[in-house]
Amino acid sequence: MQELVERIRREGVHAGGGIVKLDGFINHQVDASLTERMGDSFVRRFAPLLAEPPTRIVTAEVSGIPAALATARRYDVPMLYARKHRSSVMTDVYYFAQAKSRTKGEDINLMISRSYLGGNDRVIIIDDFLATGSTISALASLVEASGATLLGIGCVIEKPLEHGRERLSGLGVPIETLARVEVRDEAIHVY
């Protein structure tokens, strides 16, 4: 997605340790119309790859929500976000999985209510970053636990040097990413 590649080149900031900060249009301030076009782009890319459309778009709170919502709107299906923090309102029964957060330096629990995902569902997972693949892998295990079928994975930005794509290859589903970012010698390479 050329527009996204150029935006990252212009505004991406290397925050150290290979982490690229995109707070100006993805992770804190969100460009709403660019987000729409991300949704369009995912739908266009998945179109030739899928025999059937999804019934749910699944993501993890917080920063996967905008792109997942835009994609869900295009498919006209609900978007379901895995929660990370338990609250007193969470009285349902949940699927649980654990992921490692690089930016927060801790294990995170991901939870999806059993009420909203089941054996008849077909799921595309959408998230902002594909880095080590830890979050996506946890989301995929939630989908598997529900009995739903995983159709594909879409991430806004892939960081090939962190090998998430290899880690997820065992899932046997298409992985679509809209831009790739590598930090080498303190410089950000985007393509």
Buried b (16+ CB within 10 A) or exposed e, 33-57: ebbbebbebbbebbeeebeeebbbb
Q: Which is nearer to a copy of itself, 114 or 169 (CB)?
A: 114
Pick from 8, 38, 43, 80: which binds a copy of itself (CB under 8 A)? 80
**In the complex, what is the shortest distance from the CB of residue 111 to a copy of itself, in angstroms, rounded to a whole number?**
9
Phi, psi of 26 (to 5 degrees): -125, -50
Q: Which residues contact 46 (CB under 8 A, 6 or more apart)?
A: 124, 151, 152, 154, 174, 176
- Binding to a copy of itself, residues 93-152 (CB under 8 A): 101, 103-105, 112-113, 115-116
33 binds a copy of itself (CB under 8 A): yes
Angle at the Cα of 39 from the Cα atoms of 37 and 40, rounded to 5 degrees: 60
Pick from 78, 145, 188, 189: which binds a copy of itself (CB under 8 A)? 78
Cβ-in-10-Å burial (0-12, 13-18, 19+) of 190 comes to middle
Q: Which amino acid is at 175?
A: I
Compute the distance between CA of residue 71 and CA of residue 76 in angstroms, rounded to an integer.
8
- Binding to a copy of itself, residues 151-190 (CB under 8 A): none
Is the Cβ–Cβ distance between 101 and 133 less than 8 Å? no
Q: Which is nearer to a copy of itself, 28 or 44 (CB)?
A: 28
Pick from 89, 93, 119, 186: which binds a copy of itself (CB under 8 A)? 89
How many of the chain's residues bind a copy of itself (CB under 8 A)?
44
**In the complex, what is the shortest distance from the CB of residue 146 to a copy of itself, in angstroms, rounded to a whole number?**
13
Cross-strand bridge partners of residue 182: 189
Q: Which is nearer to a copy of itself, 129 or 169 (CB)?
A: 129
- Binding to a copy of itself, residues 36-65 (CB under 8 A): 36, 61-62, 65
Q: Which residues bind a copy of itself (CB under 8 A)?
A: 15, 17, 19, 21, 23-25, 27-33, 35-36, 61-62, 65-66, 69, 72-73, 76-81, 83, 85, 87-89, 91-92, 101, 103-105, 112-113, 115-116
